[in-house]
Amino acid sequence: MASQTTAVPLRAGILGATGAVGQRFITLLADHPGFKVQRLGASARSAGRPYGEAVIWRMTTPLPEALAAQTVVECRPEDFDDCDVIFSGLDASVAGDIELAFLAADHCIISNAKNHRMASDVPLVVPTVNAEHLHAIPAQRLRRGLRRGFLVTISNCASVGVCVAMKALEAQHATLGRINRVNVVTMQAISGAGYPGMSAMDMLDNVVPYIGGEEDKLETEPVKILGALSEPLLLTDLVVSATCNRVPVIDGHMASMSVGFARDSTASQLDAAAATKVAVDAFTNYQTLASTDALSCASAPRPPLHVLSSADRPQPRLDRDRGNGYAVSIGRVRPCPLLDVKFTVLAHNTILGAAGSGVLNAEIAQAMGYLTRREACKH
């Protein structure tokens, strides 16, 4: 496998660079040991202008000066020939076609857009959950006639915490039984809506009990993410009921989750207290491929899951930055009178829930040998 800390960093192109996800990609790559920002793509309206003028920079760290001066280009594959990896923060309204064009040009694309997430040969990867799904890349290349390129997608921002929790419990399925029922009620941060996104009139002294399209994603994406690495990558007997709320929080999606295990398993004989204890252990001992010595990815959180014992945690403001925003926090693990176990989970929606998953997926793909320098292959 290729070493991640190459002397020469891989060159990254960013699509949708002026948007909220694009800005986060830039921030995460600013001091990254393995990648450097090479090219900034945006809409025709921004193209041709210095990035510093085209963008309304909303990050809490200053825009690097070198990037401020760089000229924005349109999102056409030929302008990204000297990029080894493409991070897409494109809006769903345009991402579908543009990403396919880049893929046809044999680019390695890691996309935050929803368009291709559920395509059967496209891995949908939460890097601390199902990194092994990246091993579907060879089959994707074969099917689509690619030499080095690939298309990998990042999950919905609200799915990441939910999937980390479920994956940890699945690791104990011999004891707990397979998860077959999940009830999840989210309290999601406003940064998930981009910028300007939510009106301040809706988010002061208020909660909005609806996020368009979000519940559908939460009820379907985990089924693919938690599935096995095989066509069609889908679990079949998992039912998720999701309710999504928007709350006055800048960053950090919280979810109140209840999980039920299959009744016919031998494990179903555990009483609630015993199942809760097993769940706490499962969360505490959770490990991910990205954090292992074998891959040793720069951004991989160690540990990937923080179990908090204080009764009133996790809290978005205090816990979202654990593991630099790549770790998930879980607290209040306790029996559920209706299903089996319930708890609260928190994940940073714009880091592990968006751009950070992209960066960490790229690190893993590189460590696995799927992501290589582009000059190595002529097309």
Minimum CB separation of residue 266 from a second copy in Å reads: 23
Cβ nearer to a second copy, comparing 113 with 203: 203
Minimum CB separation of residue 357 from a second copy in Å reads: 21
Cβ nearer to a second copy, comparing 138 with 209: 209
Which residues here bind a second copy, judged by CB under 8 A? 58-62, 181-183, 185, 187, 190-191, 193, 195-210, 212, 219, 239-241, 243, 245, 247-250, 254, 256, 258, 311-318, 321-322, 331-332, 336-339, 342, 344
What one-character DSSP code corresponds to residue 222?
H
Task: Work out the angle at residue 330's Cα, subtended by the Cα atoms of residues 326 and 336, and round it to the nearest 5 degrees.
Answer: 150
Known active-site residue 253 = yes
Known active-site residue 157 = yes
CA separation for the pair 251, 259 (Å, rounded): 25
Exposure string for 183-198, b = 16+ CB within 10 A, e = fewer: bbebbbbbbbbeeeeb
Cβ nearer to a second copy, comparing 185 with 298: 185
Minimum CB separation of residue 59 from a second copy in Å reads: 8
Long-range contacts formed by 280-286: CB under 8 A, 24+ apart: 280/307, 280/333, 281/172, 282/168, 282/169, 282/171, 282/172, 282/176, 283/165, 283/168, 283/169, 283/307, 283/330, 283/333, 283/343, 286/164, 286/167, 286/168, 286/171
Cβ nearer to a second copy, comparing 126 with 240: 240
Q: Catalytic: which of 75, 83, 108, 157? A: 157
Minimum CB separation of residue 87 from a second copy in Å reads: 22
CA separation for the pair 223, 187 (Å, rounded): 21
> Which residues form the catalytic set?
157, 253
